[in-house]
Structure 1
Amino acid sequence: MSHHVLRGVKDVVSFIDAQPGIRGRAGIIWWLALSGLFLDAFSNSALSAGLGPMTRDMELSPTQVAILTSLASWVAIVFNPIGGWLADKWGRIPPLVFAKFLALIGAGLAAFAPSFEMVLAGRFFVGAAYGIDFAIAMALLAEFTPARFKSRLNTWQGIWYTAVCSNLLLAMMFYNLNVGDSIWRYSVGTAGIVAFILFIAQMIWMVESPTWLARKEKLERATLSMNRIYGDQFTAADFADRIPVTNQATKGFANIALIFRGTYLPRTILAATVQMAQSIQYFAVGWYLPIISLTLFGADFIVATFGALVFNLFGILGGFMSPVIGKKFGLRRASAIGFGAVFVMLVLLGFFYETMPIWLAFVVPSLFILFHSGGPGANGKSLSTLSFRSELRAGANGVIGALGSMGAALGLLVFPLLKADLGLGPTFLILSVVPLIAFIVCSIIKWDPTRAAVSPDEELDAPQFKSDAAAQHEAAAQLAAAQR
């Protein structure tokens, strides 16, 4: 067993970066965090697979469908920054576990809801859980991932589509059990079972991020976390030998303003653009694939669901390829390429979906999902996670994630309304503007965290991070020098 003396955050980051892989307890924590994202996708897509039967079962109007499907995303807009703030101030693990409890409540309320209003209440809790969990889980993943494996954060996209496909398979299974139009209740209820299992597993196995603890100058606790995670012997250096954390962001929720200043501003613009645009295009098109399949392939539930399943299998392929794509091209360029391809697919669907042969009606939506998941679908979260230092990371994820949730909410709200008023073709053409704009932004801003020389936690301090005390000290020193 090796012995390591930790003098500060740089020693913690250097040790993690030197690891040959993400193994042992670190690997368990890493996959449990990803499993939480599986739950987020599973809960969000639980209504998607059974939306047609649910609409008939509860006799919902297009407006009610739009409100119901988008509510969780509207709620997530509020809870994204709240979750990020909690994680940056109090630690990653407590709010992460609490999110599973909220997801369990939401699933229970919706599955047994006697009315439309009760389903809305359940979706409120699902949205709160989603908002809290995503901001924190991505930050935690980044802090357990060695620098040369940072592109592996994109694995979450493959996990997302695995959850969506699992829902579609379950929907076909429940359909064959002859449960009728109540099929959606079984999908939502299954999400509650997943939430309960993860709640227990995360309580048992999760360990607080040593990088966050070290950034907060809680070095003794950081050494305890390192001992539990890596098995080596870690001790905190004597106070005289410690490397102080300079210019730490200490203003609580006001820290969020820092990501809109100085060197972080273009990073924030890039990450927010990718996040919001990919959310709009996915939740306006990808989420509604079961409904789109009904239009393309007819009213048979099994055929339409199978069509949506085929589309989303390409999401699994693209999602698990995205770490390789991101490593080869960089997150920014991969996003630009993906947005450009998605734009082309939406234009093709807009002009030709009614006249396409059946094979092409499978190919074009499948390519849409493939290019989305292999590029911008994964990269929005990864860009915001990898672009900021530890004490800002979850908060930045929360704010940028809130913009992504706003995009998701807009997509979910706008699609059924546009489709009802204008038809499917014009709706695709209107939505194609979104990836086109995102492509332009990704082509202009050149920041890419996977191409940076050092991680944000090791960057030289930029002016926007100076504390009030540090700024006053510097001003006094400059005044004294001028007087001399």
Structure 2
Amino acid sequence: MQTAAVKLRGIDDVIAFIDSCPGIRGRAGLVWWLALGGLFLDAFSNSALSAGLAPMTRNLQLTPAQVALLTSFASWVAIAFNPIGGWMADRWGRVRPLILAKVLAVAGALLVVFAPDFQVILAGRFFAGAAYGIDFAIAMAVLAEFTPVKLKSRLNTWQGMWYTAVCTNLLLAMMFYSWDVGDTIWRYSVGAIAVFGLAILALQLMFLIESPTWLARKERLEDAAAAMTRIYGRDFVAAPHAERIPVTNMARRGLANVLLIFRGVYLPRTILAATVQIGQSIQYFAIGWYLPLISAALFGKDFIYSTIGALVFNVFGIFGGFLSPLIGRKLGLRRASAFGFAAVFLMLLVLGLFNGKMPLWVAVIVPSLFILFHSGGPGANGKSLSSLSFRSELRAGANGIIGALGSIGAALGLLVFPLFRAQYGLETTFLILSVVPLVASIICFSIRWDPTRTTINPDNESGAPQFKDDRGDQPAFMTPAIDKSQP
């Protein structure tokens, strides 16, 4: 007996089918993990210079101002390319911009690897920032659109991938160090970006499929049905035009859509997601990104010892990152962020007040707990909150705007740490930066929206109930279009 084709009458049927899935398996799972693979590359690219920053500084004889510019430059570029990437994805779909981002990442890495001087390295970091800005806005939208509603908190898995990439960088750095390459070790770390980038580019070219949710939201039901047939391994067909349910409140004004996220029910969601994104970016890129340097200050300047110390810290990030979906499911993304920020605030206070006075084991535990509380709480939630709070044709654009705000936070964090450390010392820098998670925690406790604590789906938020078939007892997506079991 041949299974009847599933009729799609509109966006609600697409969403209802995806939400009915017990998990993210098959081709949908492959697309989901390939989107995460792109985020792995983004994290790998962002952290590649971190492990080799001290040797690079010596190798190129960089001043503190040049270090600050070099480390923050990609984030400044991402500020512009976050919304550009979101606009591209909302206008042209998810797949093409994701592929473009990988091409830019590979080009940027190759420029840095073979750069003869500081200026060419900056040019390479420009491409890296563009790739990061485009990719993150879109990949998170893809994850949201392939995830059933009951598994929303699983979007936080990207945070575990981030720290896996960071730890991979540190392990590779120690391997390159064993090759006795001296202070040019940073070129090898960046070269690994190109290798990973080419591999992920090839896989995404072969296996990515356009988001059916985006296609249906654009009223391209034939394309949505074809995409779902490929993804879910069963027949889908678009309903005849007379039976289709028109999309309500469709945004058709291009870049003007951005203004919608600052109005009505979206405004508090935007404030919450932006607060989490900015706060976590500042605290991570001001502290977490510089962990190899902080580790060197704690354990000495030997490359292996300081790298092992940074690796130990970041292993806690892997643990917290992959635990964050469970934490988000138990507490909700908002409360997980609020408690995480509060815990990070306490860790920075301890580092600021007692750094240099603590026993060695405590000096290891406190930065490790900083990373654990960051990755298990706000580290993942800013991007997840923005991906889950807006309807499909606004989602990537909203991710782009909120991601740009996060990139401002990242750029500020990367810029101020070396400058503050040189001006005020490490302990005072910790105390100054502790203000960030304190303020962010207060805002998170104050705003009540949480997409994991509501039955509202932003793609059908007009208040209309789920569409039913003629009998009223099944979702419309279960209504067979063609009964192929009959002769």
In which range does the TM-score fall when normalised by the shorter chain? over 0.9
- Counterpart residue number, 2:459: 457
Give the whole-Å Cα distance in 2 for the aligned partners of 1:429 and 1:383: 28
Unaligned runs of 5+ in 2: 465-487
Give the whole-Å Cα distance in 1 for the aligned partners of 2:180 and 2:362: 32
- Counterpart residue number, 2:54: 52
* Amino acid corresponding to residue 159 of structure 1 in structure 2: M
Give the TM-score, by structure 1 length: 0.95
Choose the corresponding residue for 2:204, options 202, 205, 213.
202
- Counterpart residue number, 1:186: 188
* Amino acid corresponding to residue 122 of structure 1 in structure 2: G
- Counterpart residue number, 2:24: 22
Contact 1:109-1:119 within 8 A present in 2 as well: yes
Tell me the CA shift for residue 454 of structure 1. Answer: 2.1
Choose the corresponding residue for 1:107, options 106, 109, 112.
109
Q: Deviations over 1:74-100 (max 9, x none)?
A: 000000000000000110000001100
* Amino acid corresponding to residue 49 of structure 1 in structure 2: A
Choose the corresponding residue for 2:227, options 217, 225, 228.
225
Give the whole-Å Cα distance in 2 for the aligned partners of 1:109 and 1:306: 29
Give the whole-Å Cα distance in 2 for the aligned partners of 1:237 and 1:304: 61
SS of the residue corresponding to residue 236 of structure 2 reads: strand
- Alignment length, in residue pairs? 462
Give the TM-score, by structure 2 length: 0.94
- Counterpart residue number, 2:41: 39
Tell me the CA shift for residue 2 of structure 1. Answer: 4.2
SS of the residue corresponding to residue 328 of structure 1 reads: helix
Unaligned runs of 5+ in 1: 463-484
Choose the corresponding residue for 2:118, options 109, 116, 122.
116
- Residues 1:394 and 2:434 aligned together: no
The 5 Å alignment of 1:250-289 reads 250-289=252-291
SS of the residue corresponding to residue 366 of structure 1 reads: helix
* Amino acid corresponding to residue 191 of structure 2 in structure 1: G
Choose the corresponding residue for 1:147, options 146, 149, 159.
149
Choose the corresponding residue for 1:441, options 443, 449, 468.
443
- Counterpart residue number, 1:158: 160
Q: Deviations over 1:115-159 (max 9, x none)?
A: 011110100000000000000000000000000001000000000
Contact 2:348-2:431 within 8 A present in 1 as well: yes
Contact 2:248-2:462 within 8 A present in 1 as well: no
* Amino acid corresponding to residue 448 of structure 1 in structure 2: D
SS of the residue corresponding to residue 295 of structure 1 reads: helix
- Counterpart residue number, 1:428: 430
Q: Deviations over 1:419-459 (max 9, x none)?
A: 00000000000000000000000010000000111211121
Tell me the CA shift for residue 461 of structure 1. Answer: 6.5
SS of the residue corresponding to residue 454 of structure 1 reads: coil
- Counterpart residue number, 2:67: 65
C-alpha root-mean-square deviation of aligned residues, in Å?
0.8
Give the whole-Å Cα distance in 1 for the aligned partners of 2:201 and 2:93: 17
Tell me the CA shift for residue 182 of structure 1. Answer: 0.4
Percent same amino acid at aligned positions? Answer: 70
- Counterpart residue number, 1:13: 15
SS of the residue corresponding to residue 197 of structure 1 reads: helix
Tell me the CA shift for residue 356 of structure 1. Answer: 1.1
Give the whole-Å Cα distance in 2 for the aligned partners of 1:331 and 1:29: 24
Tell me the CA shift for residue 189 of structure 1. Answer: 0.4
Contact 2:94-2:211 within 8 A present in 1 as well: yes
- Counterpart residue number, 2:350: 348
SS of the residue corresponding to residue 56 of structure 2 reads: helix
Give the whole-Å Cα distance in 1 for the aligned partners of 2:145 and 2:385: 14
Contact 1:247-1:461 within 8 A present in 2 as well: no
- Counterpart residue number, 1:384: 386
- Counterpart residue number, 2:99: 97
Contact 1:83-1:398 within 8 A present in 2 as well: yes
- Counterpart residue number, 1:237: 239
* Amino acid corresponding to residue 364 of structure 2 in structure 1: F
Contact 1:260-1:268 within 8 A present in 2 as well: yes
Moved over 4 A (4+): none
- Counterpart residue number, 1:361: 363
Choose the corresponding residue for 1:337, options 336, 339, 343.
339
